[in-house]
Every structure is written in C-alpha cells, then in structure tokens.
Amino acid sequence: MSGLPLGHPLPTGRAGLSRLLSRVPVPVLVLAAALVVRGAYLLTAHGLAFDAPLIDADYYDFLGERLARGEGFPEGPFWQPPLYPAVLGLLYWLGGHSLWWPRLLQALLGALTAALASGVARRVSGHPGVGLLAGMLVALHGPLVFYDGELLATSLGTFLGTAALWLALREPRSLWTALGCGACIGLGALTVAPLLLLLPPLAWALAKGRPMRAALCGAICAALVLCATAFNHARTGEWLLISANGGINLWLGNNADVDGAMALRPGAAWETLVNEPALHGFHTPASQDAYFTRRALTWCGSQPMMCASNLLWKLRLLLVARELPRNEDLSLVRSQSPVLWALTVSPGGMALPYALLWPLAAAGSVALWRQRRTGTQEARAALTLAGATLLLAAPSILFFVSGRYRAPLAPALCVLAALGLHALSSRTAPRGVPAAVALAVLGLSVWPVRLAVDAVDFEAELHYAVGGRRARLGDDAGAVEAWRRAVSRKPDSLEAGFNLGLALERLGRPEEAARTYEALLHWHPNEPLVRSRLAQLRDAVRHAPLKNPTNP
C-alpha cells in the first residue's frame, strides 16, 4: 500500500478524495476509525449499566460461565438462540471470566461490520466515496457502539448479517462464497433468529447463472440451524427450530394492546404472562411456545383490520428516530461515556443517528429504484440490498420494535443513507423526488409519539436489575444497596421491595426487613406473599430466645 509523499499536501475536493482513496483502501480507513471510536468508548465508559450486565445480558453471562465450567446448557431446549452464550463460554474458558473479553471481541466485530458495509456500498454504487461514507456512518453509529459494549447477541448478529450480505454481493462469486454466505446466515440465525430471513434474497443473488451456489448456501444454512433443532429434540422429544422464545415475542407484538404489552417489565406481570400456558395445560417448552404463537395468529385472524393497523403502527415506530427502550433506555445510559453522549446527541429532539439515517436512506431507496432496470451488475446488487433491507426490517414489524432488535438493520440502512446523500449531491441526476421523500420521512421520524413504555422509570428499573445481578453473585449487601435505590425512586415497586426484604432477612436484619414489608403493604395491602413473609418474621421474633445484654 503506497501513501502520500512526505510533505505532500492532502488532496482537496472530489478529485482529491478519489486520489486519496486510490492510495489507502477504504475498508482500512473505515476499520481504523471504527476501532478508535469503539476503543475510546470502552476506555471511557463507566456506569451501572456498563459495570453490571443486566437482565438478558446477565443471563448470557451466567450461561457463559456455566459453559466455561463444562456444565453445558440448562435442562430443556434453548430458551434463546445458543451461539452467543457458546461464544462467551469459549472466551471465558480461554481467558477466564472477564467482561473485557467479549467487549474487545465485539469492538472488533463492530469495526469489521463497518468495513463490510463500506464494501457493500462500493459494490452497489460503484463509487469508493459512497463506500467510505457508508462505512463511516456505521463506525460512528452511536447505538451500534453501545451494543458492541453490551453482553448481548446484538453485536455478533449484526456482524454475521452484514458479512452474509457482503459475501452475496462479492465478485467474483464462487462455491466458496456461497458456502461462507450460507454459514453466516445459519450462524446469524443461531445468534438472532430472524436473520434466517436473509436466506431468500442472498441465495437469489448467488444463483445468477449458477443455481448450485444458491443450493449450497441454503444447505449449509439449514445444516447449522438443524443442529439446534436436533439438540432441542434430543432434550425434549419435541420439535423446536432454534429456541423457545419466539411465540411469546410474537404475541407481545400482535394482540389487542401492543403498546401495553411492549411495556411489560421483568417481575410479577412478566411471570404471570410466562406462566399463562401452564394454566391451560401446556407444560412443555415447545407446547408453551406454540400456545403463544396460536394466540397471536388467532387474534390476527379474528381481528384482521386491527392486526393490519398494528402492523402499520409498528412500521411507524420503526421509523422513529429515538431508540425505543426494551431492557435499557439509551437516553438514560448515554451519560456513562462522553463518546456515547456525543454519538447519540439529540439537538432539538432530533435523535441522532436515525434522524439523519432514515431520511437519507429514503432518498437512497429512490436511487435504488431508478437503478433497478439498468441491466448492470450494480442493478442486481441494488435489488439484493433492497430485499435484504426489507427482510431485516420485517422482524420489528412482525414482532415488535425496540432499539436492539432493529440494530441488525442499521448497516444496510447506512448503505442506503450513503446512496441517498450521493443522489442528493449529484449534479447529473434529478434530485426533486429524493429530496421530497427524504423530507417526508424526516417529518415522520421526528414527529413525537407517546408510548406506554415512556411511563416506565428506567432508573428504578436499572437499580432493580443491578440488585438482581448482585444477589445472583451472592452479594446481598450490594443487592440491598441497589434495591434501596430502586425503592427510593419507585416506592410502590413490588418486585424491588419484596426482594429487598428477602435480602435483609438473609443478612440477619429482620427488623429492617419487617419495616420494608410494612412499607410495601401500604402500596399493595392485599399482596399475599408480602403478608406471609411479614407474619413469619413477626412469629420468629416472638419465639426468639432473649439475649443476655451483657453477653451478646
């Protein structure tokens, strides 16, 4: 690789940029920039959400530790796709239990995702400058940087989906390319199950003149996914394709009160929902998964107009610029790092990056539409990109929208945004229609929308989740501190208050535990669990032997 001569001024303008890009490969520039950003984030991040993996992340961490010890997955089928905890287990087995190992790996995967996105944009547009722009949009994508630091399957799944798209568009195509693409789709589905939807458009892209390539891609993908199916069947005797959580997620996004269902929090309400199939006689994971699937499909069949309205409403939510929270609220945790704060700034309510990405991606979609009939190789690549983007967006519409679930869509969206900016700045192509479409989508993305989840006190949720992790690790004193903070934020929190009382009992502080239960009964006077624990405590105190004050 040759560089600029020593002392030579940097090129300026489009011609200068082209000369620079001819000397330094675009993927190298993008990879370096993405690594610097992610490294800076990891070095500066500090906060409860970063220091303690929460809820799903805590469960993944638990599974990783278990696998590293050679204990295998818990009994029954996979509850969530198994690849990410398997990767954690391997990292912990090789290097010991440290949260730095997965975070360093994910920083590398996030940087590679940016480099692959630049290659996709270059392939579709034929312009290295568009490739550079797309790669930098991914490199500076604040939510992706955040998820690269979380113990969630998001980073690995996003990388595998982008790698599959890059391989499908790579020239020259070969059987090895098809094999790699199928492997990435299959592994991606074992990480984030909806990535399986990428198979049709990418197999079509590979099949040009060689149907065997598409067949090989599908066969490799199927072989990997069926490993999980065989595992589930061997454990339970029932057929589950990948994991047992698909049905409940489908129901959460397809019912008469989707807004309220999306706001369900870990705790009593969630446990009630999870246990509902057992009340109807369904006790195995597969039958419970099928119960929720039937419930969602039955509701859609009985209320087709409301179901269609829900799908349109979720499409509208997909286009919202701000990150919709699930287990964490990005607007709350963004202060844990100056890097994350800068990359997710919201000037005037226009939450970055999506307030820019959605309008530019809409303009890029217009450019792709115009390119579809040119008969060039770029036209077929454009159709592949369009199909992949639609199918990456589909899970959010079919299930429900939240920040981390639309993350695998982000690299494709950045490619479209780079194409849109190129189209809007072009002097040869008409810009009226792309500009009008971009303005319309901008208005839609920043238009305020009120959701039930907006009423959730995510700071209280954060302390509640931290307490749960500390209790799991045997740190009851730390759990008490976290749950006290949760209760101070939300005094009527049944879950935080009850767990606080139990932790105080374990620490041998029955008087404090009793006061905690009494305060909780003020908010939940008919809660039987709280009344039962309080009665047992009072009974234990009455029958406790008197201590000699001079000989404690």
pLDDT above 90: residue 200: yes
Closest CA to 328 of 154, 501, 162: 154
CATH code, domain with 490: 1.25.40.10
Last residue of a domain, one of 446, 465, 486: 446
Pair 466, 382 in one domain: no
Pair 64, 92 in one domain: yes
Does 347 sit behind a cis peptide bond, omega within 30 degrees of 0 on the bond before it?
no
| Predicted pLDDT at 334 | 92
Residue 291: how many CB atoms within 10 A of its CB? Answer: 19
Higher pLDDT, 376 or 425: 425
Pair 47, 171 in one domain: yes
CA dist 66 and 86 (Å) reads 10
| Predicted pLDDT at 549 | 40
Residue 308 lies in a domain: no
Stretch 410-423: mean pLDDT: 96
Stretch 509-531: mean pLDDT: 93
Pair 219, 353 in one domain: yes
For 275, counting Cβ atoms within 10 Å of its Cβ (0-12 exposed, 13-18 middle, 19+ buried), the class is exposed
- Could you report the per-residue pLDDT of 440-478, keeping only the tens digit for each? 999 999 999 999 999 999 999 999 999 999 999 999 999
- Could you report the per-residue pLDDT of 75-108, keeping only the tens digit for each? 999 999 999 999 999 999 999 999 999 999 999 9
Residue 226 — left, alpha, or beta (φ > 0 → left; ψ -120 to 50 → alpha)?
alpha
* Displacement of CA 39 from its chain's centroid (Å): 20
> Which residue reads 């089928």 in tokens?
77
Contact 114, 138 (CB under 8 A): yes
Q: Rg of the chain's alpha carbons, rounded to an integer? A: 26
Last residue of a domain, one of 427, 446, 465: 446
Residue 23: how many CB atoms within 10 A of its CB? Answer: 11
CA dist 550 and 71 (Å) reads 50
DSSP string, 346-359: -GGG--TTHHHHHH
Higher pLDDT, 134 or 432: 134
Residue 316 lies in a domain: no
Tally the C-alpha atoms within 13 A of residue 337's C-alpha that lie toward its C-beta.
Answer: 23
| Predicted pLDDT at 20 | 57
Q: What is the model's pTM?
A: 0.92
> Which residue reads 């969206």 in tokens?
413
- Could you report the per-residue pLDDT of 320-361, keeping only the tens digit for each? 999 998 888 898 999 999 999 999 998 877 899 999 999 999
Pair 47, 149 in one domain: yes
Residue 408 lies in a domain: yes
Stretch 401-407: mean pLDDT: 92
Contact 445, 353 (CB under 8 A): no
Residue 306 lies in a domain: no
Stretch 196-218: mean pLDDT: 93
CA dist 508 and 265 (Å) reads 30
- Could you report the per-residue pLDDT of 469-489, keeping only the tens digit for each? 999 999 999 999 999 999 999
CA dist 310 and 287 (Å) reads 26
- Kindly give, in sequence order, each residue whose CB lies less than 8 Å from that of residue 188, ignoring residues fewer than 6 positions away: 157, 160, 161, 164, 195, 196, 198
Residue 482 structural domain = 457-543
As a whole-number percent, the residues of the chain with pLDDT over 70 amount to 92
User: Which CB contacts under 8 angstroms, 24+ apart, belong to 303-312?
Assistant: 303/256, 306/256, 307/254, 310/253, 310/254, 310/258, 311/397, 311/398
Pair 503, 432 in one domain: no
pLDDT above 50: residue 8: no
Give the pair of three-digit tokens for residue 7.
Answer: 């002392």
- Could you report the per-residue pLDDT of 229-269, keeping only the tens digit for each? 999 999 999 999 999 999 999 999 999 999 999 998 888 88
pLDDT above 60: residue 546: no
For residue 4, the 8-state DSSP code is: P
Using alpha carbons, list the distances in angstroms from residue 194 to 250, 348, 399, 464. 12, 34, 10, 30
Q: What is the dihedral of CA 521, 527, 528, 534, to 10 degrees?
A: -20
- Could you report the per-residue pLDDT of 358-390, keeping only the tens digit for each? 999 999 999 888 776 665 667 788 899 999 999
Report the SS3 class of residue 418: helix
AA letter at 551: N
Pair 416, 466 in one domain: no
| Predicted pLDDT at 5 | 36
CA dist 246 and 285 (Å) reads 11
Residue 444: how many CB atoms within 10 A of its CB? Answer: 16
550: pLDDT confidence band, cut at 50, 70 and 90? very low
Residue 288 lies in a domain: no
Handedness of CA 96, 97, 100, 106 (dihedral sign): positive
Stretch 43-68: mean pLDDT: 94
3-state secondary structure 257-326: CHHHHHCCCCCHHHHHHHHHHHHCCCCCHHHHHHHHHHHHHHHHHHCHHHHHHHHHHHHHHHCCCCCCCC
Using alpha carbons, list the distances in angstroms from residue 163 to 140, 242, 411, 548. 19, 21, 10, 72
| Predicted pLDDT at 3 | 38
Residue 86 lies in a domain: yes
pLDDT above 90: residue 273: yes
Pair 29, 178 in one domain: yes
Pair 362, 229 in one domain: yes
> Which residue reads 């050679």 in tokens?
70
Pair 406, 494 in one domain: no
As a whole-number percent, the residues of the chain with pLDDT over 90 amount to 79
pLDDT above 90: residue 12: no
Stretch 115-136: mean pLDDT: 95
CA dist 477 and 487 (Å) reads 15
CA dist 41 and 37 (Å) reads 6
- Could you report the per-residue pLDDT of 185-199, keeping only the tens digit for each? 999 999 999 999 999
| Predicted pLDDT at 371 | 74
- Could you report the per-residue pLDDT of 141-191, keeping only the tens digit for each? 999 999 999 999 999 999 999 999 999 999 888 899 999 999 999 999 999
545: pLDDT confidence band, cut at 50, 70 and 90? low
Residue 480 lies in a domain: yes
Residue 312 lies in a domain: no
| Predicted pLDDT at 208 | 81
| Predicted pLDDT at 19 | 65
| Predicted pLDDT at 4 | 34
Pair 473, 492 in one domain: yes
Q: What is the overall mean pLDDT for the chain? A: 91
| Predicted pLDDT at 551 | 34
For residue 408, the 8-state DSSP code is: G
CA dist 169 and 507 (Å) reads 60
Number of domains in the chain: 2
Pair 211, 105 in one domain: yes
Last residue of a domain, one of 411, 446, 481: 446
Give the pair of three-digit tokens for residue 523.
Answer: 């908010």
pLDDT above 70: residue 547: no
